[in-house]
A and B are shown apart, each in its own frame.
Chain A
Amino acid sequence: MDRRLFLKSSAALLGTGLFPFGQSGWALAANPASPTQKKLVVVMLRGAVDGLNVVAPYADANYYALRPGIAVAKPGAADGLLDLDGYFGLHPALTPLQPLWQAKQLAFVHAAGSPDATRSHFDAQDYMESGTPGRKGTADGWMNRLLATLPGEMSPTRAVSIGPTLPRILSGRIGVANVASGNAAGKPTVLDRPKVDDAFSQLYKGDDKLAQAYEEARETHKEVMDSLADEMMAASNGAPLPNGFPTDAVQLAKLMRKGNVQLAFIALGGWDTHINQGAGKGQLANRLAPVGEGLAQLAQALGPMWNDTTVVVMSEFGRTAKQNGNGGTDHGHGNVMWLLGGAVAGGKVYGDWRGLDNAALYEQRDVPVTTDFRAVLAQVAERHLRLPDAQLAQIFPGLTTTAPRGLIRA
């Protein structure tokens, strides 16, 4: 890492009260690299977030013409965008991320998405998780294939999903842990009582899927208890924590710092804004606010580990450039991907952006896809997780295009 840049970014974050680096940061950052040192967190916004209002091209007059009721006002106006680069602006509900942008630890790739044109949420999410757009037969998720390929020792919590079910993206050959969302994580279970644990362990002996899941659950639970239990009680004075993304983000950070987590996934729903989505305020703003807050808290809570972490935020497709009849937007195509982390070459909106002129739109209605989402993920895997070229083809078979260069700092 560039020392000068590091100092600059620390100062910028300090100035805004966001303080990701403790005193110990120097010592830890200087440790020799272990194979699992580089981390990846994927946040999936299920339901197709309206990327044109997340990173809005306010300098394109078409933006306001197409969205008279829902365009976010220009920077400087009430509830207006936060200027990014004189052309694009960030949704004001994401103000907590502004310091990361200023510290050049936040970047966007606009007009990104799937080469498959489906406007079905479920197919598009499936493709984004399998990493094989257009091919439904793929049995596993790309994060599981990545996990299988990365060098370093396996542990039950090397890949973690937050939530009660295991997502497609992490399913596959390698065992993956899932941790309850919110205040249920880190609570004791009946299996903490030795007598109960012994009896059930007898029942779940074997090597079938249930027995495996049982064994993984025990190991995960132990690690989660070690990482979360004391701190949680101390931090909240015993009161239950509120559920929500900021809570989960902070819990994830603790697990990552104390445990063995290298890959993490969390999905957030509620983005399918067909009706009354609002502009600078309103439904979409209310959904975005906790995402911004949670990501900022994740950066802070990771401390020095933030330098080794890349966070990718993605969504299955974008939404129509034009607002629909109900102050909302319908299913579209291209969207914006977010990249955050100490290693991200941030402060820039990447991508082949062609404007919102009718002729530039895909099927005269949507932002086109000019960058394959897999190409962005491949570059993160290659440059950040240091995955060799040859193995990339296993993670994203059939990927032929590349993403804009230099998303990750050398």
Chain B
Amino acid sequence: MVKLAVVIATLLTAASICAAPLTDEQRALHVLNRLGYGPAPGDLQQVQAMGVERYIDQQLHPERIALPAALNQRLDALRHNEKTPREMLAVVRPGPLMKLDAAQQQEAQREIYKDAAQLSHQERLYRAIYSPRQLEEVMTDFWFNHFNVYADKGLTRVFVTDYERNAIRPYVLGRFRDLLGATAKHPAMLFYLDNWESAAPDFQGKNKRVQGLNENYARELMELHTLGVDGGYTQKDVTELARMLTGWTFDPRASFFGGGSYTFDARRHDTHGKEWLNRHVEPRGQAEGEWALDVLAASPVTAHHISYQLAQYFVADEPPASLVDKLTQRFINSQGDIRAVLTTLFASPEFWDSANVGNKFKTPYQLVVSATRAAGVQVNNVKPLTGALYQLGMPLYGCQTPDGYKNTEAAWLNPDAITRRINLATALGTGRLALSRPADSDASAPMGKGEIEPLDPVTLANTLGPALSDKTLASIQQADPNLRAALMLGSPDFQRH
């Protein structure tokens, strides 16, 4: 206990000057919390040593940070078992020669979806927990939510890993227009928001299901992805945009020649002129949709909408208008350069205002990843983590609606959530979460006596530094030593960042 008392004594001095400017340690904690998923053992010391400014700059350029060999090995192993979308389509949408009977077909699909889900969960969580490119992981989650698809809607599961990897991840710090174009054309989005089956109202195809317009994607493209719900468009604008996007589709049948990727089907395209956002649109085939994405990405209304969301995610549930305005300007004059906008954000006085430090209530995802990082445990089996996310109401790739998960306190703080968070913290802190079992084993079976090893509370307190208040540490000092780590992870302090 002596060691913990020393830690407490050091921290007391840090915490008691809360209203004063942030200490170096608090500044380091703040960037680790907001640009990443909180400190892992040693991170606080490392960021202090290199300086907060350098850490931010490095995080904004993830290509300059090498991935550790151990993480690369994990990811390689996952890739080895992964099936491509086309390989999966060959099973779930087989051609007439490969058809199985209905029961076999169902079983084959169930198996392939289960494997795909598990691999996607592992990749996402391993990266979030172990990647030193923490901001890249945070932004991947941010943009995935922004352009949300629900994996369990039909064929979306086939494409969701590829969607995150090829439509989201390469652009998370790049140009917004690239992100918009990549998501618009990805089969995951085309399927999830139904545009793949949308066609000109007078289209007569062989497929009876494709017989006219479907405005689902066009609406969400303006409401959620770009302008925002108050962006000043009308129902007519939704319908007209849907007409411009007719023919943006993919072939769901895998074949020797291809399939499973975006294609423009000119036969389905509405070739009449359109009136959209007070402009006349001449018939130009696929170029109409491309132009619409240009217009939407360049709109100041979009700049404001995205800036508000970034400010809310990184600074406060109700972000300061001054900051949102600043980011909007940066978004506009950088032509939607996300790295430039974030650079402005992380340098802003609003980001560093002590009222905005430690004020965000963690989402279940942020809680689960930050607790696992802080614990410094070797994770071989992510099932206890995905199970916790499910119970906390935030399953991975499991948000059914296109608006994605919220990141505000109002959305996630409720009585049941507190109990569940404490349950999770206690299981993790007392060493009862079966994270170390092999990936394909049953993680729900109770841990054997020899397997249980509580986390060391002194190490954990060192890892978390000023994340735990003196009041919390004093209270924890009274508790059973085997419970102390659990109390830290389950404390009110650790629910915020």
Residues on A close to B: CB < 8 A?
46-47, 69, 118-123, 156, 163-166, 171, 175, 177-180, 184, 189-191, 195-196, 199-200, 202-204, 206, 208-211, 213-214, 216-218, 220-221, 269-270, 272, 274-276, 324-328, 330-331, 363
A191 to B420 alpha-carbon distance, docked (Å)? 10
Q: CB of B452 within 8 A of chain A?
A: no
Q: CB of B81 within 8 A of chain A?
A: no
A333 to B480 alpha-carbon distance, docked (Å)? 59
Contact assessment for A331 and B219 in the assembled complex, using a CB-CB cutoff below 8 Å: yes
Contact assessment for A200 and B415 in the assembled complex, using a CB-CB cutoff below 8 Å: no
Q: CB of B134 within 8 A of chain A?
A: no
Contact assessment for A190 and B423 in the assembled complex, using a CB-CB cutoff below 8 Å: yes
The distance from the CB of B262 to the nearest CB of chain A, in whole angstroms, is: 19
CB proximity to A under 8 Å, residues B388-407: 391-393, 400-401, 403
Residues of A within 8 A of B229 (CB): 118, 120, 122-123
Contact assessment for B495 and A165 in the assembled complex, using a CB-CB cutoff below 8 Å: no
Residues of B within 8 A of A196 (CB): 426, 483, 486
- Asked if A210 meets B492 with Cβ closer than 8 Å, knowing A47-B401, A220-B415, the reply is yes
The distance from the CB of A206 to the nearest CB of chain B, in whole angstroms, is: 8
A50 to B391 alpha-carbon distance, docked (Å)? 30
Q: In the complex, what residue of chain A is closest to B480 when comparing beta carbons? A: A195
Q: CB of B264 within 8 A of chain A?
A: no
Residues of A within 8 A of B281 (CB): none
| B residues contacting the other copy or chain, number (CB 8 A) | 55
Contact assessment for A178 and B422 in the assembled complex, using a CB-CB cutoff below 8 Å: no
Residues of A within 8 A of B215 (CB): 324, 330-331
A274 to B197 alpha-carbon distance, docked (Å)? 10
Residues of B within 8 A of A189 (CB): 419-420, 422-423
Residues of A within 8 A of B341 (CB): none
Contact assessment for B209 and A164 in the assembled complex, using a CB-CB cutoff below 8 Å: no
Residues of A within 8 A of B413 (CB): 166, 209-210, 213
Residues of B within 8 A of A184 (CB): 391
Residues of B within 8 A of A69 (CB): 208
- Asked if A165 meets B393 with Cβ closer than 8 Å, knowing A195-B483, A217-B415, A325-B201, the reply is yes
Sorted from nearest, which 10 A-B pairs have the closest CB atoms?
Answer: A325-B212, A164-B393, A217-B415, A166-B414, A216-B415, A210-B492, A199-B479, A274-B216, A190-B426, A178-B416
Contact assessment for A220 and B209 in the assembled complex, using a CB-CB cutoff below 8 Å: no
Contact assessment for A213 and B418 in the assembled complex, using a CB-CB cutoff below 8 Å: yes
Residues of A within 8 A of B472 (CB): 203
Add 8 more A-B contacts to A190-B422, A196-B483, A325-B203 (CB < 8 A).
Answer: A123-B229, A163-B393, A195-B480, A199-B479, A274-B214, A324-B215, A327-B209, A330-B216
Residues of A within 8 A of B478 (CB): 199, 202
The distance from the CB of A287 to the nearest CB of chain B, in whole angstroms, is: 12
Residues of B within 8 A of A180 (CB): 391, 416, 420
- Asked if A325 meets B213 with Cβ closer than 8 Å, knowing A118-B229, A119-B235, A269-B401, the reply is yes
Contact assessment for A164 and B492 in the assembled complex, using a CB-CB cutoff below 8 Å: no
The distance from the CB of A90 to the nearest CB of chain B, in whole angstroms, is: 26
Selected contact of B209 from candidates A121, A195, A214, A276, CB within 8 Å: A276
Selected contact of B422 from candidates A166, A200, A270, CB within 8 Å: A200
Contact assessment for A165 and B492 in the assembled complex, using a CB-CB cutoff below 8 Å: no
Most chain B beta-carbon neighbours within 10 Å: one of A156, A191, A363: A191
A217 to B413 alpha-carbon distance, docked (Å)? 11
Residues of A within 8 A of B403 (CB): 121-122
Selected contact of B414 from candidates A123, A191, A213, CB within 8 Å: A213
Contact assessment for B414 and A165 in the assembled complex, using a CB-CB cutoff below 8 Å: yes
Contact assessment for A217 and B419 in the assembled complex, using a CB-CB cutoff below 8 Å: yes
The distance from the CB of B479 to the nearest CB of chain A, in whole angstroms, is: 4
The distance from the CB of B212 to the nearest CB of chain A, in whole angstroms, is: 3
- Asked if A217 meets B418 with Cβ closer than 8 Å, knowing A119-B219, A275-B197, A325-B198, the reply is yes
Contact assessment for B483 and A217 in the assembled complex, using a CB-CB cutoff below 8 Å: no
Q: CB of B350 within 8 A of chain A?
A: no
Contact assessment for A165 and B214 in the assembled complex, using a CB-CB cutoff below 8 Å: no
Contact assessment for B410 and A269 in the assembled complex, using a CB-CB cutoff below 8 Å: no
Residues of A within 8 A of B216 (CB): 272, 274, 330
Residues of A within 8 A of B487 (CB): 199-200, 203
Q: In the complex, what residue of chain A is closest to B400 when comparing beta carbons? A: A269
A331 to B402 alpha-carbon distance, docked (Å)? 14
Could you write out 12 A-B pairs with CB less than 8 Å apart? Answer: A47-B400, A119-B219, A122-B229, A164-B392, A165-B414, A171-B410, A178-B417, A210-B413, A270-B400, A325-B211, A326-B211, A326-B214
Contact assessment for A211 and B214 in the assembled complex, using a CB-CB cutoff below 8 Å: no
Residues of A within 8 A of B415 (CB): 156, 175, 177-178, 213-214, 216-217, 220
A120 to B220 alpha-carbon distance, docked (Å)? 8
Residues of A within 8 A of B417 (CB): 164-165, 178, 213
Residues of B within 8 A of A363 (CB): 235
Contact code string B205-226 (vs A, CB < 8 Å = 1, else 0): 0001111111110010001000
Q: CB of B476 within 8 A of chain A?
A: yes
Residues of A within 8 A of B479 (CB): 199, 202
